[in-house]
Every structure is written in structure tokens, then in C-alpha cells.
Amino acid sequence: PGPAPPGPPQQVVMSSPCCLLTEDQLLCDVCLEVFSEPVSLPCGHTFCRACVEQHWEDSVQHHCPTCKEIFSAPPQLRTNRFISDVSLLFRGAQRNPQLAKGGDISICPRHQKPLELFCRTDQSCGCMLCPVQDHKSHDIGLLRDQYENFSESKASVFSHFCAKSLKSRTRLKKEQAENDLQPSEDRRKELMEEFEQMIHDRRTKMEEIRRSAAVSRKSAERYISESESTFQVLLQTLRRSQIDLIADLQEKQKDAQRQALPMIRTTVDWAEVSVPPPPYGRKVASTFQDLEERLIKEKEKLVARSKLLRAQEFFRDVSLDPDTANPFLVLSADGKRVHCGGVCQNLADNPRRFQTACNVLGWPGCSSGRFYFQVQVEALASWDVGVARESVPRRGPITTSPQNGFWTIGLRDKTQYKAPGLELRPVEPPKKVGVLVDYEDGRVAFFNVDSAHLLHQFTQCCFSEQLLPFFSPGRRSHCPNPPSLVICPIS
């Protein structure tokens, strides 16, 4: 008998435990949607045709999106009829859920027999009669076995996809974290470059100051040496001229006596006769003495200037330390100027801060070698300048003396210059005060920068810790623009 005519199409879906696939097993690994026109690659993995073609367009090589197997040439995309049929049935079940009741089985639309076989050649399902009529010499297997193999394959693919997705999310989070940190890293590098440039500029400036001081010192020493030679020649010339002049005067006096001798008729005791020297002789001697004193004073000035230049060779760029400033002190932003205001500022309670006296320390300090800085004190009615031990007391009454760790000089009431236990009488009021510390020699010297005179010095000091620059701009002032104590460079 001939083949039975096809019956009416049956709208039931495969739902028996042996052959029903879940939705997760019908998802494409690329778009994660139910397969649409599924095609299989030579490696055995299945994807939507559009998905795999788009994937290859976006990639340099033709490879499997799941296992990454590379194909030397674009492989032929063969439609996976089994997956296609199951996907269509699944979509139909989604559109008509009332047709997908439990216990229903899939029926061959041609022979009206249950679907129990799977043709691997055509990638399609069939009943027991299909191999006889339509699938002769094809690779036929049980649908149950194909389902189990497919389930294992989909489970492996799904696990691979989960691992891949987790790895991708981890990579994205890492990239996002790196992107978030990048601005901070860029800013840190920028700040480091600015800081290194500041250090380089400061070192360059200090080197220029040292070279300038060395040149000035050598020039001053050469000038002093030449001046000393000139002064010695002048003094020798003056002494010779004075001797010659006195000898000439004595000779003229003897001539006058010889000329007057015949005119004397009586005997005279010449031992009792004195002839006064001519008045111009005393005037010449006084002039020579004044000139000698002026030359000696000029020499002393040059020697003093030379000593100041040697001290300035150890110049350090000092700044005020705001953490040590009394709350009434007002510091400039660059840390070079300070004056005492009339309002107590609300500052943090720092153990390094002077709480009662209007004092402030500077930085850097000195713990070896020599150290020089200078301060402008012009227009201040009161001030104190010097150095102090780092451990000096900051609270309660403070007496600035070497016994308490302070080596300073100061001014009171615009006229009274003082050192601890001593009244100073400078040749001229200092506008700038230079401070030199010789740590190993135990000496602190104070100079009038404009005249180069030594104002005062502490000697035979015993230093056992770091010394810091010390400043006090005087008493509290309520005037709107009080004068400031200024740390100044070498001009």
C-alpha cells in the first residue's frame, strides 16, 4: 500500500520527560534569546544564523563564539533542524500555553505516530515509519539519546557562558575601578612633579646665593688686602714726612740760635732757655694724627664688612612655623611676615604653640655647622630675634635667656636695645639684623646688616639639640596696619 496521506496538523508540543527541553537549553550563547534559524558549526556548537554572521563581521578571525576554535576559512553554516523544530514548538507553547499541558506527546504530522527517532543527517525528528520512506541510509538514532546528548552539551555551554559572563563582569569592574583611580593617580603625579620642580627651583636659588656670596667674599677680601697695603704705604709715608718735617724744624731752630748767639752780650744758661716750637708744627702733627685715625676706622669697617659677608655665605631661607605661633600673631601666606594683632584667633590646641608670649619659631633649624638668616625690624617699637632650643617651654611665663634655651637680642620702647642681663649701645639703630649660629664653636652673633657692625654675640655656648630661629614682633596692637617683622633675603 502507498504512503498514508498526511493528516491535519497537530498543535501539540513535545513535553514528555524524555524529550522536553527547558528554555535555558534553547538559548543562543550570543544573543541569549531562543534560537532563531539555528545553524551548527563544525565544532558542534549552535547559534542563530544572524548572531554568528554578525560575530564574524566584528572579529578579525572566524572562530566559534563559545569554544574559540578558529576556522581557516568561513565554514558552511548548516541549519540544525532538530533545534529549529524544538525552538518553533517552544515558541508555539509560549504563544498557546493551553496546548502545553503535562503528559502531551509530540506526533509525527505525516504518519500520526509518536516522534521517537532523530535523523542526524537532516537534523530532524521522526517516527518509526520515517526511516522507511524518507530517511533511508541516513544516520538515525533515538530521540531520547539525542536529547540527553543535547542536554549535556547545553549544560556545558551554559556553564562556560556563566564562567565567561562572570569573568567579563570582573574585567569590567576592574576596568571601571582603574578608570576611577586614574584621575587620582594623574593628580598625584602632577603634584609630585610640581613638588619636585619647587625643590629644584629652591636648590637652584640657594646655589646662586652661595655663588654670589662666595664671589662677594672674595671681592671683599681682595679689596681689603689692597686697602691694607695702601694704608700701610700711606702711614709709612706720613711717618717719614713727619720725621723729615720735625728734623727740618729742629735744623731751622738751631740756625736761629746760632744767628742770635753773637748778639747776646751776657752769659746765658742755655739749659734754662726753651724755644717754643712754631705753631704750624702742632697743626701739621694734629692733621696727620686725624688722618691716621680715619684710615684705621675705615680699615675696621672693611674688616667688619668682610666678617658679615663670610657669615652671609651660610644663609638659609627661613620660614615661620604656623604650628608654633601664638594665637595673637598674624602670619603672611608665604610665612615671611608676622605682626601681633589685637584679636585672639581660634586655633588648634597644639603642644608646640606658644600660648602666653607673642612668639613664633622658624624652620629649618640648625643642629650642626653654621647657619645665617636676617630679619627686617625697621619701624617696630619692640622686637626679639635670635635662636631657641627646640624643647623650650611654650606655656606660662617665659624668660628669654641662655639658661632657658634662648639666645636673643631685642628692642624695647624704640630706644632700649638689650641682651639678657645687658644693655646694648649700637653705633646706629639697626634696620636689619643678621643672626649667625656656629654650632660647633658654640657661638651666636648678631650683626647690623646695613653697617656690618657686630651688635652682640654669645660665646662658649653648649648646644645639645636642634636650634630653631626665634621671632617676637612685640606687643599686641589694635591699629589697622601694624608694622611687621619680615624675614628677608640677602640683597
139 lies in some domain: no
- Paired strand residues for 373: 435
Please check whether residues 235 and 351 belong to one and the same domain. no
What is the pLDDT, as a whole number, of residue 103?
44
Domain encompassing residue 298 = 197-263+275-313
pLDDT digits (tens, 9 = 90+) for 253-307: 777 767 766 665 555 555 555 556 555 556 666 666 777 777 777 777 788 888 8
Distance from C-alpha of 47 to C-alpha of 80, rounded to nearest angstrom: 9
Which position has the higher pLDDT, 205 or 358?
358
**Res 338 pLDDT > 80:** yes
Please check whether residues 408 and 474 belong to one and the same domain. yes
- Paired strand residues for 375: 433, 487
What is the pLDDT, as a whole number, of residue 159?
58
Report the chain's C-alpha Rg in angstroms: 55
What is the pLDDT, as a whole number, of residue 481?
82
**Residue 378 sits in a domain of what CATH number?**
2.60.120.920
Q: What is the mean pLDDT of residues 378-402?
A: 93
Please check whether residues 331 and 443 belong to one and the same domain. yes
104 lies in some domain: no
Confidence of residue 9 (pLDDT cuts 50, 70, 90): very low
**Residue 28 sits in a domain of what CATH number?**
3.30.40.10
Q: What is the mean pLDDT of residues 368-394?
A: 95
Please check whether residues 284 and 387 belong to one and the same domain. no
Using a 10 angstrom Cβ sphere, with 0-12 exposed, 13-18 middle and 19 or more buried, the burial of residue 325 is: buried
SS3 labels along the chain: CCCCCCCCCCCCCCCCCCCCCCCHHHECCCCCCECCCEEECCCCCEEEHHHHHHHHHHCCCEECCCCCCEECCCCCCEECHHHHHHHHHHHHHHHCHHHCCCCCCCECCCCCCECCEEECCCCEEECCCHHHHCCCCCCEEEHHHHHHHHHHHHHHHHHHHHHHHHHHHHHHHHHHHHHHHHHHHHHHHHHHHHHHHHHHHHHHHHHHHHHHHHHHHHHHHHHHHHHHHHHHHHHHHHHHHHHHHHHHHHHHHHHHHHHHHHHCCCCCCHHHCCCCCCHHHHHHHHHHHHHHHHHHHHHHHHHHHHHHHHHHCCECCCEECHHHCCCCEEECCCCCEEEECCCCCCCCCCCCCCCCCCCEEEECCECCCEEEEEEECCCCCCEEEEEEECCCCCCCCCCCCHHHCEEEEEEECCCEEEECCEEECCCCCCCEEEEEEECCCCEEEEEECCCCCEEEEECCCCCCCCEEEEEECCCCCCCCCCCCEEEECCC
Residue written as grid cell 530532524: 124
Confidence of residue 1 (pLDDT cuts 50, 70, 90): very low
Q: Give the dihedral sign, CA 111/117/120/121.
A: negative
Please check whether residues 235 and 293 belong to one and the same domain. yes
pLDDT digits (tens, 9 = 90+) for 422-477: 999 998 999 999 999 999 999 999 999 999 999 999 999 999 999 999 999 988 77
Please check whether residues 323 and 409 belong to one and the same domain. yes
177 lies in some domain: no
Confidence of residue 134 (pLDDT cuts 50, 70, 90): low
Please check whether residues 293 and 362 belong to one and the same domain. no
Confidence of residue 116 (pLDDT cuts 50, 70, 90): confident
What is the pLDDT, as a whole number, of residue 386?
97
143 lies in some domain: no
What is the pLDDT, as a whole number, of residue 14?
39
Using a 10 angstrom Cβ sphere, with 0-12 exposed, 13-18 middle and 19 or more buried, the burial of residue 292 is: middle
- Measured CA to CA in angstroms, residue 421 lies from 12, 183, 386, 409, 418 at distances of 117, 61, 15, 10, 8
**Res 160 pLDDT > 90:** no
43 lies in some domain: yes
Confidence of residue 169 (pLDDT cuts 50, 70, 90): low
Which position has the higher pLDDT, 121 or 3?
121
Confidence of residue 168 (pLDDT cuts 50, 70, 90): low
Which position has the higher pLDDT, 190 or 419?
419
Please check whether residues 372 and 251 belong to one and the same domain. no
Contact 143, 115 (CB under 8 A): yes
What is the pLDDT, as a whole number, of residue 12?
34
Contact 23, 6 (CB under 8 A): no
Q: Are strands 78-79 and 38-40 parallel, antiparallel or unpaired?
A: antiparallel
Task: Give the residue from 58, 76, 92 where a domain finishes.
Answer: 92
72-76, 269-273, 323-327, 352-356 — which is least confidently predicted?
A: 269-273
Count CB-CB contacts under 10 A for residue 426: 16
Task: Give the residue from 72, 92, 112 where a domain finishes.
Answer: 92
Distance from C-alpha of 449 to C-alpha of 308, rounded to nearest angstrom: 8
**Res 333 pLDDT > 90:** yes
Residues sharing a CB contact under 8 Å with residue 358, sequence separation 6 or more, in sequence order: 326, 328, 329, 340, 472, 473, 474, 475, 476
- Opening angle at CA 12, ends 6 and 15, nearest 5: 125
What is the pLDDT, as a whole number, of residue 423?
93
Distance from C-alpha of 89 to C-alpha of 366, rounded to nearest angstrom: 91
Task: Give the residue from 92, 111, 130 where a domain finishes.
Answer: 92
140-149, 153-162, 439-448 — which is least confidently predicted?
A: 153-162
What is the pLDDT, as a whole number, of residue 274?
59
Please check whether residues 358 and 297 belong to one and the same domain. no
What is the pLDDT, as a whole number, of residue 462?
93
17-26, 120-129, 221-230, 314-323 — which is least confidently predicted?
A: 17-26
Residue written as grid cell 695702601: 230
Domain count, the chain: 3
**Res 249 pLDDT > 90:** no
Using a 10 angstrom Cβ sphere, with 0-12 exposed, 13-18 middle and 19 or more buried, the burial of residue 410 is: buried
Please check whether residues 383 and 447 belong to one and the same domain. yes
Using a 10 angstrom Cβ sphere, with 0-12 exposed, 13-18 middle and 19 or more buried, the burial of residue 362 is: buried
pLDDT digits (tens, 9 = 90+) for 314-324: 999 999 999 99
Distance from C-alpha of 117 to C-alpha of 85, rounded to nearest angstrom: 13
Distance from C-alpha of 210 to C-alpha of 410, rounded to nearest angstrom: 29
131 lies in some domain: no
Please check whether residues 326 and 393 belong to one and the same domain. yes
pLDDT digits (tens, 9 = 90+) for 180-234: 666 677 778 888 888 888 888 888 888 888 887 778 778 777 877 787 787 778 7
φ, ψ (nearest 5 deg) of residue 360: -155, 145
What is the pLDDT, as a whole number, of residue 127?
81
Using a 10 angstrom Cβ sphere, with 0-12 exposed, 13-18 middle and 19 or more buried, the burial of residue 249 is: middle
What is the pLDDT, as a whole number, of residue 13?
36
344 lies in some domain: yes
Count CB-CB contacts under 10 A for residue 479: 9
Chain centroid to Cα 20, Å, comes to 68
Please check whether residues 300 and 329 belong to one and the same domain. no
**Res 308 pLDDT > 70:** yes
Average pLDDT, the chain: 80
136 lies in some domain: no
